[in-house]
Amino acid sequence: MITIAQKNLVTSSADFTVNIPSGLSNVTIVAVAVCNDGDGAHTTLDGAFTFGGTNMTNAHPSGGLNSVRNSPYQVDIWYLKNETRTGNQTMHWGHHGGISSFQGTVYILESTDTTTQLDVTSITGVGSSANPSLSITTSTDGCLLIEGLGYANAPTANAGQTIDQSTGSHMRIASELTGLAGTYTQDWIASAGTRAHMLIAVRPSDGHVLIAKTAKGSSSSGVTTDGVDTTGATSIQLAVSSYHIAPMPTISDSKGNTYTALSSYNDGTERIQMFYVENPTVGSGHTFTASGLSSFASIAVAAFKGGATSSSFDVENGNFSTGVTTVTTGSITPTQNNELILAAVNFNAAGDTVSINSGLNVLAQFAPGSGTNFGVALAAKTLGTAVAINPTWTAGSVSGGMAASIAAFKLAGGAPPAAIGRSFGVIIG
């Protein structure tokens, strides 16, 4: 599963420094630039984008120094596979300079396929119609879509896309992790206006593919999630936040699956526990329920393809703290390379959100509700090399406490040795 280990956001086309940490594997660098400048002389590319002095590859279908341009907007996406360096590296955009409005994002992606080009030829679009969209058909499960959009009328993303950078009302850079191979449409809501648009798909290096995700909390007596399509999943993992004083909620789903419980961790109030099922019954309209009187439960779910379908669970740990905004999960060391790492947290400041480090990406979270539910979040990454990992969850506000857990699940068929790459990750195939 591709993870975005780092996003570097800038609003100037000047060179800047990116620091690549050690310990990453199968790394691809993707640089996206969106310009708003009626003077094309400023946005013209004088040369290749470079990273650490190495020429990147232009993702434009025509290659060379071509851009997607529809005055005053221009979009450029370049990438560098198999990055193995660590430490400070210089990002150079290649534009002529003096651009009136610029936004750039440099993604450091981990667990990408570093031996091939993009999964499919990049897709480009220009025009002036309302609700701009681009469709791309992936040939590989679990691709990461990355797009740049310049548009005249403040576009709003539809469900699925994560807006990684938004400068002013006209420029957007976004990403989305896909499930099974197929056609995906990245569409935006906006009135008619000039646009330049570009979309790529990055291919993963390993077999863990996120098929579906969801999270919800609703009442003190429990919760049922909205339905998702889990077709193709070979395992389902979920995290349940609840009130430690009350009995642990009963876990069920609409397909009749039976879940195996991992350990629970609590600080006397907040409790977190993960569950999993191998070879589940799957399909559309799949809902998940945590029920229990005065449990104040919330639930986060992720369904995956590609993991081991028997004896998949490897190791776990957990931790808790009170009156804090951070909590570590506790350290684990998987026994195999390329295991799926899942981290969960219970947090309790109404309306709050959380984030996590160590290259994990938050898949699903639901905020605490006043008198209704605890907050829950579930994050994941593929850990290329079997080394110790102890991520930290960070909340926006001090709450009564935080309880966290972490677990590792094996890849189907075991895992070959992983090559250590230079840096962070998302998919370019």
Per-residue pLDDT of 361-377, as tens digits, reads 999 999 999 999 999 99
Nearest to 7 by CA among 127, 109, 160, 93: 109
Other C-beta atoms closer than 10 Å to the C-beta of 132 total 26
Residue bearing the bigger pLDDT, 160 or 9: 9
Tell me how far apart the alpha carbons of residues 273 and 263 are, in angstroms, rounded to a whole number. 6
Average pLDDT of the residues in 301-329: 96
352: Cβ contacts below 8 Å, ≥ 6 apart? 367, 368, 375, 395, 396, 397, 399
> For residue 109, which amino acid is it?
L
Residue 425 has pLDDT above 60, yes or no: no
> Residue 423: pLDDT band by 50, 70, 90 thresholds?
very low
Q: Amino acid identity of 179?
A: G
The pLDDT of residue 429 is above 60: no
Average pLDDT over residues 78-99: 95
User: What's the Cα-to-Cα distance from 353 to each of 20, 237, 325, 361, 364, rounded to whole Å?
Assistant: 26, 21, 11, 14, 11
DSSP three-state, residue 138? coil
Question: With bands split at pLDDT 50, 70 and 90, how would you rate the model's confidence at 414?
Answer: low
**pLDDT of 211:** 95
Q: Whole-prediction pTM value?
A: 0.88
Strand partners, 143: none
* Contacts of 338 by beta carbon, 8 Å cutoff, 6+ apart: 111, 206, 207, 208, 382, 383, 384, 411, 415, 416, 418
Residue-wise pLDDT for 210-258, tens only, equals 999 999 999 999 999 999 999 999 999 999 999 999 999 999 999 999 9
Q: Determine the residue type at 12.
A: S
Q: Are 21 and 423 in contact (CB under 8 A)?
A: yes
Dist. CA 62–CA 282, nearest whole Å? 41
Q: What's the pLDDT tens digit per position in 20-49?
A: 988 898 999 999 999 999 888 899 999 999
Quote the tokens at residue 45: 């590319």
Torsion angle of C-alpha atoms 185, 188, 192, 196, degrees rounded to 10: -70
